[in-house]
């Protein structure tokens, strides 16, 4: 049973961790370097953890790194599971459930995304203010497990307002220009067509990617507070006269590495307590 699997995975991790983590990090394409900043790290490959799926994408490692970041006990996913890899939504969100079971209350989710908003530029960081689920699936489908959360969870503030403000204050403090916007989650793995990007812009999207939405739905179901940060790795299809490649995504995330690291570290360093 799902709950039993969550408990077994958490118990396995609990035996190995030095501290109970309170902040979880999910590190997207090219952004896994943040886990290298964690001190006294305990590194656990996904393959060692009972019931954990395995990561298959180039540029994604596939391990949990737990330890201290900016004085806080954190646990980070270096590499995540994507729906397009063939995992079910329940599998994609399994690590979020395990984090919750370990005591994580605040989840910081990061990703690489294509810029839909034409005022954005590749290399921008974007604080996610909301999302649009275009995946045609939901991790909460099926019988509801009351122990994990309620049947019809509120999603009207899926991204915590206080954390959005906090992130913007941090950016200001660092003199870092960041965008704010709505993330659209598509399944991928094909990038969008130019017509799809025009449609998504009309629908209110500012950035588009192939992750994050499932994890954020599960985290809200679990009453975790969520902060989302996108690295705009490229302008979405049809905006510039050039094809999209995964190499460009990885290249841009590498270029903004220092900004990204400084930003998230400052956010974690000054994270407001959960009320």
- Span interacting with ligand HPA, options 41-49, 52-60, 232-240, 266-274, rule CB under 6 A: 232-240
Structure tokens at 48: 């060692």
Q: Identify whether 183 is a catalytic site residue.
A: no
Residue 98 in the binding site for ligand HPA (CB under 6 A)? no
78 bridge partner residues:
27, 63
- The set of long-range contacts for 33-36, using a CB threshold of 8 Å and a minimum separation of 24, is 33/257, 33/261, 34/69, 34/76, 34/110, 34/260, 34/261, 34/264, 34/265, 35/61, 35/65, 35/76, 35/78
Ramachandran quadrant class, 208 (left: phi over 0; alpha: psi -120 to 50; beta: rest): beta
The token pair that represents 188 in the structure block: 């991928």
Please indicate whether residue 211 is annotated as part of the active site.
Answer: yes
Q: In the range 24-63, which residues lie near ligand HPA by CB under 6 A?
A: none
Residue 75 engages ligand HPA in binding (rule: CB under 6 A): no
Q: Residue with the closest Cβ to ligand HPA?
A: 114
Q: Which of 37, 55, 66, 82 is catalytic?
A: 82
Site mask for ligand HPA (CB under 6 A), range 172-201, x = bound = ----------------x--xx---------
Direct distance between the N- and C-terminal alpha carbons of the chain, in angstroms, rounded to an integer: 32
Q: Does 205 bind ligand HPA (CB under 6 A)?
A: no
Contact 109, 227 (CB under 8 A): yes
CB of residue 252 vs ligand HPA: minimum separation in angstroms?
Answer: 9
Q: Is there a catalytic annotation at residue 60?
A: yes
Q: At what angle do helices 94-102 and 2-14 cross, to 10 degrees?
A: 50
Which of 218, 219, 234, 237 is catalytic? The answer is 234
Count of residues near ligand HPA by CB under 6 A? 14
Q: Using CB under 6 A, which residues numbered 112 to 141 contact ligand HPA?
A: 112-114
Active site residue 82: yes
With 0-12 / 13-18 / 19 or more C-beta atoms within 10 angstroms meaning exposed / middle / buried, residue 138 is: middle
Using CB under 6 A as the binding rule, whether residue 249 contacts ligand HPA is answered as yes
Tell which residue, 220, 216, 228, has the closest CA to residue 263.
Answer: 228
If one asks whether residue 253 binds ligand HPA (CB under 6 A), the answer comes out as: no
Asked about 147 being catalytic, the answer comes back as no
Which of the residues are catalytic?
Answer: 29, 60, 82, 84-85, 112, 210-211, 234, 246
Contacts with ligand HPA by CB under 6 A lie at 112-114, 188, 191-192, 208-210, 233-234, 236, 244, 249
């Amino acid at each position: 049973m799902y709950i039993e699997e969550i408990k077994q995975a958490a118990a396995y991790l609990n035996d190995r961790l030095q501290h109970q983590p309170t902040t979880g990090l999910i590190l997207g394409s090219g952004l896994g370097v943040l886990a290298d900043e964690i001190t006294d790290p305990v590194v656990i490959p996904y393959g060692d953890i009972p019931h954990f799926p395995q990561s298959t994408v180039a540029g994604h490692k596939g391990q949990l790194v737990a330890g201290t970041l900016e004085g806080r006990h954190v646990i980070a996913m270096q590499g995540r599971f994507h729906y397009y890899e063939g995992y079910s939504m329940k599998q994609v969100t399994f690590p979020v459930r395990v984090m919750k079971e370990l005591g994580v209350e605040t989840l910081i989710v990061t990703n690489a995304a294509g810029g839909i908003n034409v005022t954005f530029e590749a290399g921008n960081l974007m604080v996610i203010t909301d999302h649009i689920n275009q995946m045609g699936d939901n991790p909460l489908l099926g019988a509801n497990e009351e122990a994990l959360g309620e049947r019809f969870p509120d999603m009207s503030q899926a991204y915590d307002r206080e954390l959005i403000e906090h992130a913007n204050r941090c950016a200001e403090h660092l003199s870092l220009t960041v965008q704010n916007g709505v993330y659209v989650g598509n399944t991928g793995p094909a990038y969008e067509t130019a017509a799809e990007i025009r449609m998504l812009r009309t629908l209110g999207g500012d950035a588009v990617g192939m992750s994050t939405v499932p994890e954020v739905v599960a985290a809200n179901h679990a009453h975790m507070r969520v902060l989302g940060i996108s690295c705009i790795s490229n302008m979405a299809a049809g905006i510039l006269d050039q094809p999209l490649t995964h190499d460009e995504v990885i290249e841009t995330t590498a270029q903004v590495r220092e900004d990204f690291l400084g930003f998230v570290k400052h956010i974690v360093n000054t994270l407001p307590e959960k009320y």
